[in-house]
Structure 1
Amino acid sequence: MKTETRWVKRIFWSSAALIGLLASYGAAGLIGGAIPSNRSWRAPARGVHIFVESNGVHTGIVVPKVAAGVDWRGVARAADLRDPRYAGFDHLAFGWGEKSFYLETPTWADVKLRTVVTAAVGSDRTLMHVEHLPLPRSGDGAREIVVTPEQYRRLAAYIRASFRAGGARYRGYAGYDAFYEANGRYDAVRTCNSWTGDALRFAGVRVGAWTPFPVTMMGWF
């Protein structure tokens, strides 16, 4: 009986510690997402129109293929797609994330505990996800942002630096997207959503100081 009691106590305290850790992480993420950076930023009356999008798991940044002297057609090529016809669309969505998490979890329904734990602990296997899209419509899944040409070029430089030079390419979920090997380490602190926030923060856009969750990104726009 004493042995069984000890095991019950261990399970209880281990479970309590895990719940406490997850609760603390969630609270820290929400607090970090609520602290503004680039406080003085205001959207210009005219400029480059970009979007922040979310599918409930990942967030990404949607940009025009050609704008403000930036041309993405040499980075996201028609030959990388299952169906090259989608390269005729005039916008691209960029996202960054852990390789297994990205390839195995297009929606929350596909999330596996093993994948989550592996990503949270840390992984150097990261990818850029690129989708060829028409002009998005601002709504629940996308928020429109206007930035100056200079801010957009800074954003583009951050996105370009996330691609691993000479890295491998992978077919995407459908005919209109592809994955590319990326730079950077993924973990519980630097998630796909914090990458989105980092990119916008680097460009000078007002966003949370740390944005690990979709809500901490989308709530700003």
Structure 2
Amino acid sequence: MRVTNNSVCQHLLCRYCYFLSFVFFSLALLAIAALIPRKWSDYSQQRCNLNICVSNTGIHSNIIVPIKNNVFNWSENILLDGIGIDTISNYTYLSFGWGDRDFYMSTPSLRDINLSTTLKALFLPTSSVMDVKGYQSIPNYLEVKCIKISQIDYLRLMEFIQATFQVDAKGRKIRLGDGHTTNAGFYAANGSYSVLRTCNSWTGEGLRKANVNTPLWDGLSFAIMWHLRSSCD
């Protein structure tokens, strides 16, 4: 049986069309999942009087909490004047973000993105890092949204953030290096980064610990911000 060039081209074209259809269908499912909330009306009946905030850099989302309130004090859990190189210890807020160690530490901005590092972070399980920043006020140069949660939910969120840090034999958090700004530092973290568990997935997981609604697929920072609501009715 003779195979013509036309039949080969048609076969390759069909395979290409199938592949494009699969990619389009997958992206459409993810887009829909980003718009669907995980819960519709399951609100806490407890008193919500504690603030938490989430910031959006356009790619990454970060959880911002007060240094201390009447239920938790971060100054007892992390060395504040050792976070960044500015030696400031009178911060009012701390920002926490989790992500791929190599990508986070070597990519201060979008123009510094390295293709090999990005592909490795997305498709291979890689070591992770905590990006910690100290603020004297809520940053106004980022998109930030704040909500109130209950005391029990707040403590669950603090436990989740605490458990993400790797610690040494003495229980101290392990600082790996300076951050990309003078108020930031990188710390060793637990968990592996991959396309299935991204920086925004970590934020979403933490918010769910605090009974805060998140999208069905929390891989995008804008989706987390869009769904962010108080966990109280």
TM-score interval w.r.t. the shorter chain? 0.7 to 0.9
Structure 2 equivalent of residue 211 of structure 1: 218
| Residue 84 (structure 1) aligned with residue 87 (structure 2) | yes
Alpha carbons 2:37, 2:216 under 8 Å: kept:
yes
Q: Shift in Å at residue 111 of structure 1?
A: 2.5
CA deviations on 1:47-68 (whole Å, 9 max, x unpaired) are: 1111110111110100001124
Q: What do the CA deviations read for 1:129-156 (whole angstroms, capped 9, x no partner)?
A: 1000123167861111111111110001
Aligned match of 1:177: 184
Give 1:168 shift: 4.5
Q: Give the 3-state SS of the residue equivalent to 2:227 in structure 1.
A: coil
CA contact (8 A) 1:57 1:108 kept: no
Gaps of 5+ in 1: none
Aligned pairs (5 A) from 1:50-129: 50-73=52-75, 74-85=77-88, 87-129=89-131
Deviation at 1:11, TM superposition (A): 11
Q: Which moved further from structure 2: 92-101 or 208-217?
A: 208-217
**Corresponding residue for residue 28 of structure 1:** 29
Residue-by-residue CA offset, 1:177-202 (whole Å, 9 max, x unaligned): 00101011111111000110010011
Letter in 2 for 1:83: D
Match of 2:144 in 1: 142
Q: TM-score, normalised by structure 2?
A: 0.80
- Tell me the amino acid that sits aligned with residue 194 of structure 1: S
Q: CA RMSD in A?
A: 3.0
Corresponding letter in the other structure for 1:171: D
The 5 Å alignment of 1:181-192 reads 181-192=188-199
Counterpart contact for 1:97–1:127, Cα < 8 Å? yes
Corresponding position of 2:135: 133
Q: Relative to structure 1, is the Cα distance of residues 193 and 21 closer, same or farther in structure 2, using a 3 angstrom cutoff?
A: farther
Matched residue type, 1:162: T
Task: Provide the secondary structure at the position in 2 that maps to 1:51.
Answer: strand
Would you say 1:193 and 2:196 are equivalent positions?
A: no
CA distance in structure 1 between the partners assigned to 2:137 and 2:210 by the alignment: 21
Secondary structure of 1:70's counterpart equals coil
Distance 1:11 1:150 in 2: 57
The 1-side partners of 2:220 and 2:136 are apart by 26
Deviation at 1:206, TM superposition (A): 1.2
Structure 1 contact 151–204 (Cα < 8 Å) conserved:
yes
Structure 2 counterpart of 1:189, one-letter code: L
Within 1, Cα distance between the matches of 2:74 and 2:207?
Answer: 18
**Percent of residue pairs identical:** 26
SS in 2 for 1:114: helix
Q: Of the two, which has the highest radius of gyration?
A: 2
Q: Distance in 2 between matches of 1:55 and 1:16?
A: 35
SS at match of 1:61: strand
CA 1:121–1:175: 2 relative to 1, 3 Å: same
Partner amino acid, structure 2, of 1:51: C
The TM-score normalised by the length of structure 1 is 0.83
Q: Is the 8 A contact 2:37 2:227 kept in 1?
A: no
User: Structure 1 pair 84/197, CA: closer, same or farther in 2 (3 Å)?
Assistant: same
Residue 165 of structure 1 is matched in structure 2 by 167
Asked whether the 8 Å contact 2:47–2:150 carries over to 1, the reply is no
